[in-house]
Amino acid sequence: MVQLDQIDKDILNTIQLDFPLETHPFEKLGEQLDIPEDEVIRRLERLNSAGAIRRIGPIINTKKTGGISTLVAAKVPEQRIDEVAEAINRYPEVSHNYLRPAEYNIWFTISTSSDERLMQILDELKAETGCDLINLPTKRLFKIGVKFNIR
């Protein structure tokens, strides 16, 4: 696990929702946190290579970019989990894929450009794996706002 000091935590808590969108964002971030830009950059590089920061960039709203996204649950026998997870991961349209032990145990999200492509992926996966899949698209959105409170 990555060890974080207070400055790392301040950086991580700031750059999630309050990243300064400017031509020199790291300089600005340094001013906000009262540390030099060099140090901000050094710390970001460390946090990035240690996996604490995946990336800094635009978080896309697929609905607005004309995309279709959905959550899918699959019922997969214990001994076939690795194989089926791999088959699912092969699609670049699959953005998240988790094992959550329960009756439906593999949970993944798909973002595609069209309904036809989505249905094609689901049909192919059903045929290839023989597993039960349920398609759980969003009917209503109440909240989406991932911010981790890092303490």
Partner 1 sequence: MDEIDTQLIKLTQDGIPFTHAPFAYIAKELGISEEEIVARFENLQQNGVIRRFGASIGHRAIGITANAMCTWNVPDDKVEEVGAIMAGFTEVTHCYERPRYPDWSYNLFTMVHSYTREDCEKVAREISKATGISDYSLLFSEREFKKTGARL
List the structure tokens of 129. 């794996």
Closer residue to partner 1 (CB): 34 or 51: 51
Interface with partner 1 by CB under 8 A: which range of 104-112, 114-122, 123-131?
104-112
Q: Which two tokens stand for residue 87?
A: 């088959």
Return the number of the residue (127 or 145) whose C-beta is nearest partner 1. Answer: 145
10 binds partner 1 (CB under 8 A): no
Q: Does 74 bind partner 1 (CB under 8 A)?
A: no
Pick one of 6, 58, 78, 127: the residue that binds partner 1 (CB under 8 A).
58
Of 106, 136, 148, the C-alpha closest to 15 is: 148
When asked if residue 1 is in the footprint of partner 1 (CB under 8 A), the reply is yes
Counting contacts by CB under 8 A, is residue 73 touching partner 1? yes
**What's CA 26's distance to the chain center, in Å?**
23
Report the candidate in 78, 91, 69, 74 with the shortest Cα–Cα distance to residue 130. Answer: 74
Give the number of residues written for the chain.
151
